[in-house]
Every structure is written in C-alpha cells, then in structure tokens.
C-alpha cells in the first residue's frame, strides 16, 4: 500500500516537473528548469520575436505589476531590445552606454561609458547588443558599437576585450574603401554565425561584412553596390561603386543557422530623393538578399523597390517562419515594407509564395531623372494600410480639421505609394516612417505574423539647388539644403515632432567651434559629416549662423563640384514634414496606427485593431484612433502579444487570437522598443526600454520590468 502510494506520488511529481519544463522552453539558448534567457536581439536569430514561455497568459495577465525599474540617467530615443543571459540583463542606453543589471531586481552590476575610452565616441538609436559564447561556453563576448567603432566587451566584467581588433576596437569602415576609411555607424545589432559576427551599418558605400568574433579580422564582404564582374554591376552607371553611397543595411539581418543562410534587408541609395546620377534599377538597394553565411556568396535576391526615390528602405529585419502553403510545409522568409506590404518567399529558393505583379507608377518631371516605370506589388497578403489618400480619407476629428485637410489635399493631391518627387508639393502617403518601421513583426509557430503599422501622411517636395536664373546660392546654402534641410527644414526651424531642433539663433546656445565640431563627429540622431571637406562644413555653419556672404568664386566652386566626389545634385529634398491638422493630430481619417495579425499560411488578414489612443480625443467621445508607433511586438505561447510602441506612454497585452486588449500599463516614457521576456528563479518577466522622444513626446531613459505577484 505504502509502495503504491509512493509510486503515485513519484508519478505526480514527475508529471509536474514535465509540465514545468514544457512551460519554460524558449527559442533562446541556455534554458533551465527555473531560468529561460532572451539571449539574442528580437529573441532569436530568426528574428521571430517569439517566446514559448506561458507562465503569464490570458487567464492571469491582468495581475501583472511593476517588478522593478531602472533609470539609465540618459534622455533620448531609447530603442534597445534588451538581452537576458544567465540572470543578467544587458542594455545599450540612449547615449550608448552598456549596462548590466540583475534581471530579477534591476540592481546595477556594472556600467560602461564609451566616452571614457575615446572622447566624443557616443551616439544614439542603438537597438541592442550581440552576445557570443564558444561551443563549450569557455569563451564569451558582448559586442556593441559607438562612434565609428565595433567594440568587444567582457560580459561579466564590463571591460573592453583588448585582444579584439586594435585594443578592443574595429573601425566600422574596415574593408569598405580602397582609399580613406569612410564614416560608418551601427545602430542595429548583427547576428552570430559560428565564429562570425555579421553586420550591416549606417553610411558608407554599402556592404554586408563578417568579422571574426575573437580577433576582429574581416572574414568576408558582399558589395551591395556591385564591382565590375559582379552581379548587378550593369544596373548602375559605370563605376558607380567608386562614388555611390547609402546602401548600408541598417535595419538588421536574420539567420537560418541550420542551412547557413543570412538574410539581409537593404537601404535606399543616396541621395534618397534624386537619382539623376544613378540611373538604373540600382541593385542591391531596397532588396532582400540571401547570402551564404560562411562566405558571403549571393544565393538569391529580390528587389522590392526599383531605383528608389522616396526613402523606402526596407525598414525591418526579415522574419523566418514555417508555413503550410498549398498543403505543403514551407520554410519561408517574410519582409515588411514602409508602404505596408509583406513580401513572402521560400527562404531556400527565393520563390514568392504568391505572385508579385509589376505595376506602372508615375514618372518624373525633374530634369535628368529617370524614374523606374514599374514597381512590384504582392497579390497576397493584401496591404496592411491604405495605399492612397483621397477626399474620402480627410480628417474626421473636427469640422475645422476636415475643412483644412480637404483644402490641402485638393491643392497637393496624393498619387499613391510611388509619387515621383517634383517641385510641386504632394501628400506622401503611405508616409516616410511607414507602414512598417524598424520594430518589425513577430511570428507565431502557427504561421501567424503580427505587426504594427503607421498611417501618417507626410509632405513631399523638392527644391532646386540654384536660383531660377541659374545664379548660385550663397555660400553653404546648397550644402545645407542637401545635408541639413531634410531634418532641420529649409527655413532652419526644425521639426519638433521629428525631434529635430531649430537652428535659428543656435549661436546663442552653442559656440561656433562646438557647432563646427558637431558637423564633423555628429551627436545623438545627427550623423557625422566627416566625409565632407572642412571647407564645406565651414560653409554650412556660416550659412546656418547667417554669416555667409555671396561670393564671386561661388560660381566657380559650383562648377568644380560637378566633377568632385561631393557633387551637389540639381535638386535637394525639402525636408521631412508630417502633415498635421490645426490641433497637431495626423491630417487623415483614423486609424493612425494599427496592430495586425496576418495568416501567412493563407495570406489572409485575420484581424486589425487600433494601437494607441489620445486621452483628449477619448474625452471628446472619439473612439480609439491609434497613434504613430515605433518598436515591435512580442508574441508568446501564453496567447499574448506584448507591445509598447504607441505615442501614449503605454504598454499593452493583446489576445493573439482576437486582437482584444487584455492588459495595459502606463510607462514613464514612450516604449519605443521591442519588449523582451524571460524567466529567472521560476518567475517570468516582461521588460521594455522606455525612452520616448518620438512623435514629439517627452524623452527619458528608463527600463520597466513587469511580473505576476510573488
């Protein structure tokens, strides 16, 4: 009898243990019975944003409370998807400090400041870190970037790994030029394949590279602007690789580790809005490229925007998932776009799962431009947002907003997702910041893809870089139009919603020497312009400060510029301008931001709900409008989608089957980052970086972790 009872108790205990193990298994490595990590950017190398943790689920999510908070002391666009490894949380702060915290309590373990290594080596918009360990776990490293450098660190010590590169540093321009090393940054972490760290970047001529994780030696490089004899060379003007720039794949990569294939989403060629000096389809700009992760050899590619003139760089990493397509299991790769489309391919062959049609688009009126006559549109899934803005889309927020937006759309009509830039103002919709943005989408194992989308109109207009009579602009004015006006405006008034300060009377806030230094090394969101000759940077500062003078030699300088590497195009972009109504809300009928569920087995949209709301409009009886949103979702086996992203300082949990909101919590600043989820000592946490600073919202630098009550 006692033996039978003991056996039953043993069986019961084993069953409970089995349930516990099943409950805590995750896509991440190093999971144990009481601990489960989030060791990789966006959860795994497939960039699925998925966790099989289910301790927090539909039945108890309403009980979530703040478990701990941490203030980095920074202010800015805090966009880090935090890593959790062996009970330690690693984050990259808005000023690119690297911080290690106890993941159960938020207690600081160490903090590393890059400016203590190299003065001025800061930056902003760093979306995460890369962790590597050897097969046996004897070696490990944490990779970050600051300024123009890739840096290896000791995860346990918080110190630089001096055996990597040059005393711990590898210049991010390495291997990109036969001459001077170009100015290159890194805002999205790379991916580890065996002992290779594969990265993209910001700035520079365009390449994907792999570095040895131990030594920092360059292992391979794939040129995104092809060299003679390489595939795609004929899609550019002759020898374009010597002068063309901009194709660095900033939004990240995904990896099929079993097959050894890395998938890269690439950027627009520069200048973004005028292609008169880069006629052709421009491979491999705006492309999904599959490469052999061991060698960098191209396996296949698909160009999603031809000869881009609208800054429609691919904004998020490709997502790898498995679907049932036409009755067969298919390992697929899904790529989202700024115009709210999803392109889905067989990840091995590059064959589209559904037909893609080339459709005619408007042609250019700018002298010297040759817009591509067609653009690709997938037949499935349907667009996740409106593709046109007509009179039926004018704002319904108030009678005044309706009248104002109706008047504006009649004067500056929208021409669909691919208007060609011109001297006439037009409504740009879908807008410059999506559709989809860098947060990307989450993939459930059942083949459902969850992604947030913006539906915000912007204004598009080009300006000539000389006067109508052909006379030159004053010294520094053309350079300002080309390099500065897209952010700070043609009139130097800035853009508060975009976070770009006014430059009017900037001399009252900073001395001239400091302003000049900023143009060289950059700061925060402002990139470094050290590739420009000092004389051009001096001219820009003179123009900004109002001390520039017309010069007889200016016409000569303009002539010389036509054959120089820093040639000024005939047209410059008039600046990024959101179109808002008289109250500051998006000048279009809601929704302004949505969360979407798409069944990639069938290509059908399952549900769509607003993401975010404005309390002032809610008080007026206006249903949830959604808001502009940045940062991605996480989907869990507990039946939940966790996402911040919205412009109302809120994190929410949605039912992944229906889109119903099950829980929400206020954040100290906007959660413009993708959350992470992990298990420490048997307790599951949801953690998000909350820094705000987008959409004109307050800025800070906090981390907030949530958990169920003890």
**Chain segment 394-432, per-residue pLDDT in tens:** 999 999 999 989 998 999 999 999 999 999 999 999 999
Integer CA distances (angstroms), 279 to 235, 415, 419, 482, in order:
8, 22, 17, 19
Q: Kindly tell me if the per-residue pLDDT of 11 is higher than 60.
A: no
pLDDT for residue 177: 83
pLDDT for residue 471: 73
User: Which of 18-22, 120-124, 130-134, 620-624 shows the lowest mean pLDDT across its residues?
Assistant: 18-22
What whole-number distance in Å separates Cα of residue 539 and Cα of residue 542? 5
Q: What is the pTM of this model?
A: 0.87
User: Domain of 511?
Assistant: 466-568
The predicted model gives 320-331 an average pLDDT of 98
Residue 552 lies in a domain: yes
Q: Label residue 138 exposed, middle or buried (CB < 10 Å: 0-12, 13-18, 19+).
A: exposed
**Cα maximum dimension of the chain:** 108
Banded model confidence at residue 491, pLDDT cuts 50, 70, 90 = confident
Banded model confidence at residue 475, pLDDT cuts 50, 70, 90 = confident
Q: Indicate the DSSP class of residue 21.
A: H
Banded model confidence at residue 125, pLDDT cuts 50, 70, 90 = confident
Residue 553 lies in a domain: yes
pLDDT for residue 549: 66
pLDDT for residue 156: 97
Percent of the chain with pLDDT over 70: 90
Residue 57 lies in a domain: no
The predicted model gives 20-28 an average pLDDT of 40
| Domain total in the chain | 1
Q: Kindly tell me if the per-residue pLDDT of 518 is higher than 90.
A: no
Phi-psi region of 549 (alpha: psi -120 to 50; beta: other; left: phi over 0): beta
Residue 525 lies in a domain: yes
Residue 346 lies in a domain: no
The predicted model gives 579-602 an average pLDDT of 96
Cβ pair 57, 638 in contact under 8 A: yes
pLDDT for residue 553: 34
pLDDT for residue 501: 86
Structure tokens, 489: 């405006």
CATH of the domain at 470: 1.10.760.10
pLDDT for residue 575: 84
Banded model confidence at residue 14, pLDDT cuts 50, 70, 90 = very low
Banded model confidence at residue 180, pLDDT cuts 50, 70, 90 = confident
Q: Produce one character per residue of 311-322: b if its CB has 16 or more CB atoms within 10 Å, e if not.
A: bbbbbbbbbbbb
Cβ pair 55, 33 in contact under 8 A: no
Residue 374 lies in a domain: no
Banded model confidence at residue 574, pLDDT cuts 50, 70, 90 = confident
pLDDT for residue 134: 96
Residue 123 lies in a domain: no
Q: Kindly tell me if the per-residue pLDDT of 21 is higher than 50.
A: no
Residue with tokens 């020898």: 239
User: Which of 129-138, 303-312, 525-534, 548-557 shows the lowest mean pLDDT across its residues?
Assistant: 548-557
Q: Kindly tell me if the per-residue pLDDT of 563 is higher than 90.
A: no
Q: Label residue 367 exposed, middle or buried (CB < 10 Å: 0-12, 13-18, 19+).
A: exposed
């Amino acid at each position: 009898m006692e033996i039978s009872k003991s056996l039953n108790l043993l069986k019961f205990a084993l069953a409970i243990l089995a349930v516990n193990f099943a409950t805590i298994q995750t896509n991440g490595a190093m999971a144990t019975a009481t601990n489960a990590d989030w060791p990789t950017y966006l959860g795994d190398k497939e960039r699925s944003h998925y966790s099989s943790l289910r301790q927090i689920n539909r039945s108890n999510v309403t009980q979530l409370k703040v478990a701990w908070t941490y203030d980095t002391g920074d202010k800015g666009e805090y966009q880090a998807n935090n890593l959790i490894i062996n009970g330690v949380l690693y984050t990259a702060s808005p000023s690119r400090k690297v911080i290690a915290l106890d993941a159960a309590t938020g207690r600081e373990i160490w903090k590393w400041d890059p400016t203590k290594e190299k003065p001025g080596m800061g930056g902003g918009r760093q979306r995460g870190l890369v962790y590597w360990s050897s097969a046996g776990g004897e070696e490990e490293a944490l990779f970050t970037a600051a300024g123009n450098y890739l840096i290896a660190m000791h995860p346990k010590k918080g110190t630089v790994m001096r055996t990597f590169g040059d005393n711990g540093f590898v210049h991010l321009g390495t291997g990109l030029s036969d001459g001077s090393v170009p100015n290159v940054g890194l805002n999205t972490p790379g991916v580890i394949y065996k002992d290779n760290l594969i990265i993209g970047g910001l700035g520079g001529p365009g390449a994907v590279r792999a570095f040895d994780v131990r030594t920092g030696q360059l292992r391979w490089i794939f040129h995104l602007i092809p060299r003679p004899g390489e595939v795609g060379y004929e899609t550019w003007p002759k020898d374009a690789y010597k002068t063309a720039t901009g194709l660095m794949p900033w939004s990240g990569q995904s990896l099929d580790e079993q097959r050894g294939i890395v998938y890269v989403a690439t950027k627009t060629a520069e200048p973004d809005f005028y292609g008169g000096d880069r006629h052709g389809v421009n491979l491999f700009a705006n492309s999904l490229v599959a490469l052999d992760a061991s060698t960098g050899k191209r396996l296949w590619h698909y160009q999603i925007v031809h000869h881009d003139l609208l800054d429609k760089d691919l904004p998020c990493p490709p997502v790898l998932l498995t679907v049932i397509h036409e009755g067969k299991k298919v390992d697929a790769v899904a790529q989202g776009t700024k115009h709210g489309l999803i392109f889905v391919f067989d990840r091995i062959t590059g064959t589209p799962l559904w037909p893609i049609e080339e459709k005619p688009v408007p042609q250019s009126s700018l002298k010297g431009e040759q817009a591509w006559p067609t653009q690709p549109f997938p037949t499935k899934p349907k667009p996740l947002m409106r593709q046109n803005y007509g009179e039926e889309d004018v704002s319904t927020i108030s009678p005044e907003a309706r009248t104002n937006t109706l008047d504006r759309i009649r004067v500056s009509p929208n021409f669909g997702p691919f208007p060609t830039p011109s001297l006439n103002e037009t409504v740009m919709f879908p807008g410059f910041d999506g559709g989809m943005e860098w947060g990307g989408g989450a993939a459930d194992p059942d083949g459902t893809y969850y992604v947030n989308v913006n539906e915000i109109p912007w204004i598009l207009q080009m300006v000539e870089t000389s006067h109508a009579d052909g006379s030159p602009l004053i010294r520094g004015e053309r350079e300002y139009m080309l390099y500065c006006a897209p952010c700070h405006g043609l009139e130097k008034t800035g853009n508060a919603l975009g976070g770009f300060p006014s430059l009017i009377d900037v001399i009252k806030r900073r001395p001239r020497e400091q302003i000049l230094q900023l143009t060289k090394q950059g700061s925060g969101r402002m990139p470094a312009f050290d590739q420009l000759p000092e004389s051009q940077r001096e001219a820009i500062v003179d123009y900004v400060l109002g001390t520039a003078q017309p010069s007889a030699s200016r016409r000569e300088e303009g002539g010389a510029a036509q054959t120089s590497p820093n040639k000024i195009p005939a047209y410059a972009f008039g600046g990024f301008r959101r179109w808002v109504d008289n109250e500051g809300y998006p000048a279009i009928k809601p929704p302004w931001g949505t969360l979407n569920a798409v069944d990639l087995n069938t290509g059908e949209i399952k549900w769509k709900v607003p993401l975010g709301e404005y309390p002032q409009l809610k008080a007026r009886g206006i249903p949830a409008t959604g808001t502009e949103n940045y940062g991605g979702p996480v989907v869990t086996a507990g039946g939940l989608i966790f996402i911040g992203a919205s412009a109302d300082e809120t994190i929410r949990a949605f039912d992944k089957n229906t889109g119903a909101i099950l829980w929400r919590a206020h954040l100290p600043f906007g959660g413009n980052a993708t959350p992470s989820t992990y298990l420490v000592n048997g307790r599951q946490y949801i953690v998000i970086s909350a820094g705000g600073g987008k959409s004109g919202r307050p800025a800070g630098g906090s981390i907030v972790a949530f958990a169920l009550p003890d």
